[in-house]
C-alpha cells in the first residue's frame, strides 16, 4: 500500500487554501492544480509549496544583572 501525501498549496489568483491537486506522468511527474473557488487551473513540474508568512522577530533585551545587596 502506498502512502498518500497531501499537497498543501494556495490558489495563485484568489489565495483559496483548498486547492484540488493531482499528479500525472508525462515525461516525468507533472502536478495539476485547480481552484474550486475561482476555477483557475495550472500545472507545474514541482509541487507548489506555500510560502511561510513573514514573521517579524523582535530581539529580546539582554538580561540585566541585579546589583548585589552587599
For 20, the domain range is: 1-48
In a domain, 25, yes or no: yes
Compute the distance between CA of residue 65 and CA of residue 70 in angstroms, rounded to an integer. Answer: 14
In a domain, 6, yes or no: yes
In a domain, 13, yes or no: yes
**pTM exceeds cut of 0.75:** no
The residues, any chain, with a CB within 8 Å of residue 52's CB and separated by 6 or more, are none
Q: Which of 43, 4, 5, 51 is nearest to 25 (CA)?
A: 43
Q: What radius of gyration do the chain's Cα atoms show?
A: 23
- pLDDT band of residue 37 (cuts 50, 70, 90) is very high
- pLDDT band of residue 38 (cuts 50, 70, 90) is very high
The residues, any chain, with a CB within 8 Å of residue 24's CB and separated by 6 or more, are 30, 32
Domain CATH code at residue 34: 2.20.25
Amino acid at each position: 500500500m502506498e502512502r498518500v501525501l497531501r499537497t498543501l498549496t494556495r490558489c495563485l489568483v484568489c489565495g483559496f487554501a483548498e486547492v484540488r491537486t493531482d499528479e500525472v506522468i508525462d515525461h516525468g511527474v507533472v502536478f495539476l492544480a485547480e481552484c474550486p473557488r475561482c476555477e483557475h487551473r495550472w500545472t507545474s513540474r514541482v509541487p507548489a509549496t506555500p510560502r511561510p508568512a513573514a514573521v517579524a522577530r523582535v530581539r529580546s533585551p539582554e538580561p540585566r544583572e541585579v546589583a548585589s545587596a552587599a
